[in-house]
Structure 1
């Protein structure tokens, strides 16, 4: 590459009837100045290109980092969603298991209560049957008492009873003061 200084210092051989030296020097000087301006512009453009290239590289690195960050965020988001789905499915399975256990316990309790109700019903029926038998026996005994002939009463006929005399009668019965024959009957029962 020719420099502006080389253009200025360029010399030519002298020839007969050659070019005008001053005119050639003026042309070379103008050419040298213009060439110097072009080289300066070229240097400026090269520096500008290097700055732009550095900015481009920086922006490219930022873009790559942003792309990586975006990909990581996307993957993290997918992982988070997947984890949330897995946790939700686990919670659902646990809830279903708990619900099945509760239903099973409820059914077991229901069966136990039904068995208990059935047992209580059998016991009630047994007690009722025993009471019926007992009461029938007692009624039969009472009927038998009605059939027994009482010895003739030689004592005077008691006066008609009033409510207060009946109470006295029952009080005396409770205390065991009168009618031992009635007590004998009750003992037989």
Structure 2
């Protein structure tokens, strides 16, 4: 057990012949008591400061641990957001590809339908031209027959006869 200033103060030495100067010893002991009390106070202050520093260190260690966990959680959340964004982008691309395929297929169907309609119209136009040509040719044939000349002469006669009326 360590000495206390009171232990030093209460310490008494036996007297002998030709011993030390009692006043000098007492002065020296008084000086030791003062120095020892000062060291004890300083030690208590340092222990108090050490407790405060350890408390602050614990607080900062908790803050560091919390920040570390927060950073990890934030990184995980960022990674999850990144992965979700990639998945969503892939879904959007797939949907766009499906829509593009559908539009292309619809366009091909419409194109084929229009091509078939155009082909049908060409056939109908060819048939119409052939029939019209046949009609014109038959009319030309009728016009080129000899019977028309006699009609022309009877017509002229009729005009002459009606002029005398």
TM-score w.r.t. the length of structure 2 is 0.83
Structure 1's 97 and 39: CA in aligned 2 closer, same or farther, altered over 3 A? same
User: Where does the alignment leave 5 or more consecutive residues of structure 2 unmatched?
Assistant: none
Structure 1's 89 and 143: CA in aligned 2 closer, same or farther, altered over 3 A? same
| Corresponding position of 2:89 | 88
CA distance in 1, matches of 2:60, 2:81: 30
TM-score w.r.t. the length of structure 1 is 0.73
Structure 1's 45 and 141: CA in aligned 2 closer, same or farther, altered over 3 A? same
| Corresponding position of 1:69 | 70
CA distance in 1, matches of 2:39, 2:103: 93
| Corresponding position of 2:114 | 113
| Corresponding position of 2:105 | 104
- Root-mean-square deviation (CA, aligned residues, Å) is 2.6
CA distance in 2, matches of 1:100, 1:42: 85
Higher helix share: 2
Query: What displacement does 1:71 show?
Result: 1.9
Query: What displacement does 1:148 show?
Result: 8.6
CA distance in 2, matches of 1:145, 1:156: 18
Give CA-to-partner distance per residue, 1:46-69, whole Å, 9 cap, x none: 100110111111111111111211
User: Where does the alignment leave 5 or more consecutive residues of structure 1 unmatched?
Assistant: 162-189
Structure 1's 156 and 92: CA in aligned 2 closer, same or farther, altered over 3 A? closer
